[in-house]
Structure 1
């Protein structure tokens, strides 16, 4: 059943909370640069995540761990310059918030001041509660992230579905409640059973956005490069590719190479 959409000239933290209350699903995608952000924003996406997944898709690292705070600020500032409507949420990278709430606040302030982003996202539950509270007390909106938390990949040892066992599921539900009580404006749930994600979304008043968490949540997020088919090695069950740009781009670039080699490009009309 479709829900009438309210038109938002500018999406804010309040806007996405209203979307949940009104039963309107929230669309969220990653972006890491000006050009892509401008396209994503123009297409009507509600929330743009400047994800630490830039470590993978932009820099070629195996994990999200190597990306630095300075690099996240660079990507975020590029995105902010490209948007008019979307809410821009920026990941705090690994090592910038886990050990010390004061360090967490300094990292969040740098992102807000130097990039112009609108909110930050942190991975984890009660283990980082103090960092979350310190950032929120400074007036910076915080989005939580539970389930599969890629910054903890070496702890998990795998990217498999999380919270399938009762103990971990109960912890996840408790952490979601804690994030809500602490003042987080939304939560991302990554790669957990759909029934559990639905239960969490129904148990909290703040929006729950899923990635590999089924359709019973308040919104969805994907990595833009995966959605567009620019990546081809990554094929998780939850990913729907809306284009296959890897093949199209390879063909186009190959044609360019052939045209240069054969002197077909540039022709007279393409010359001054």
Structure 2
């Protein structure tokens, strides 16, 4: 079969080769989910991606979270034993937590992080090289990294590609630690924040997973018929798990949480609130058979 019969000519082959070379020449950044604290949470896909990286970007939040930086370095030592790489560690911009305008403060903080990543890509990656950000948990769940890189692409001041590698979320590790599930059979589940939970429990949802709650908002609902599954530092050697009727364990959780935060200088926790009496009957057509 000649080129005319196959429909593939020298020009087509040249174009394909040219595009392949162009793709290889573009700087690329992996956003790699590394799980909730256990190095064994890393997926095979994540390990494979680690071994393609030339430069790892680490944002340092200071002495309070140096343990999180150390864990990232341990992951690299464990899973990237034979490939040369660099670790570029820079100070993470601080968010103004005293600002009256919360939305404006968060947007200012996000913008400074976008500019920082832009500088790192421009200064630390050469054409064709690979960078990576090791993201705690799963990059898709209550983490700003993916949206920051989307904003970077929209700015179009530096040319690069990026790929998201999913990870085990802290919520997955939480319910696994408690040997339960996100939701009950045929029932919806809500994932939200402490700030949103303060507005009230939704009437039509029996299971509510809560993250980013610095104020133990669950205390507002101790008079309701709820069960709580709480965890801190899940997946790490310092993991703490407490569960039971909310009214019975709310004070214990708050005390343990406060003490743990004081001892370590930081805390990362989440919890599941579950109605003991379903909000409404489960429609039979929604039950998996």
TM-score, normalised by the number of residues in structure 1: 0.32
| Bigger Rg over Cα | 2
Structure number with higher relative contact order (C-alpha < 8 Å, ≥ 6 residues apart): 2
Higher strand share: 2
